[in-house]
Amino acid sequence: MSLPDQDSPSTRPYLIRALHEWCVDNGFSPYIAVQVDASVQVPMDFVNNGEIVLNVSFDATSSLQLGNEFIEFKARFGGVAREIVVPIDHVVAIYARENGQGMAFPAPVAGSRVGLAPSDVVLAPVRSEDTERASLRAVPSEPTAEGTSEPTDETPPRGPNKGGGRPMLKRVK
């Protein structure tokens, strides 16, 4: 058996598409947590601690494309339509808003646009009952940006976690 080739394509875009499809098929809202730098095109007013959380459901986006290099779509932020472009390697998590199930990925290495080797990828299914021990928080505590087709004052649903807060993702090594 040979070791994986460092030049092989990343599995991240395929896993993101699969989890997006799983969310849609089960009636959940797929959200992505994105590490923001100069290569990410998002409204900077909604970035908190270098991260933004985006609703990538079909109801919240227009012209959604989940490609191998970029996630691209149009969404409304505060009633203003924006063009969003996120490099795939900047997606640090994808999960269902309603129950927190999803996957976390390692953050991108500064200045790196090369795909990660399979041994570098940290993937873990995440369940709401694991949130007490979570070491990777996918949703910032204050303001989040949810690309929605219409502005809403809806509060996020509370899961079964004891704190009653938003779902959290757990990084497993």
- Dump pLDDT digits (tens) for 34-46: 999 999 999 999 9
CATH classification number, 12-110+119-133, choose in 2.30.30.220, 3.20.20.140, 1.10.286.10, 1.10.3720.10: 2.30.30.220
Torsion of CA 148, 151, 155, 159, to 10 degrees: -10
Which residue ranges make up each domain of the chain?
Answer: 12-110+119-133
DSSP secondary structure letters along 106-135:
PPPPTT--SPPPGGG-------GGGGGG-S
- Dump pLDDT digits (tens) for 45-63: 999 999 999 999 999 999 9
Most confident segment among 15-29, 119-133, 149-163: 15-29
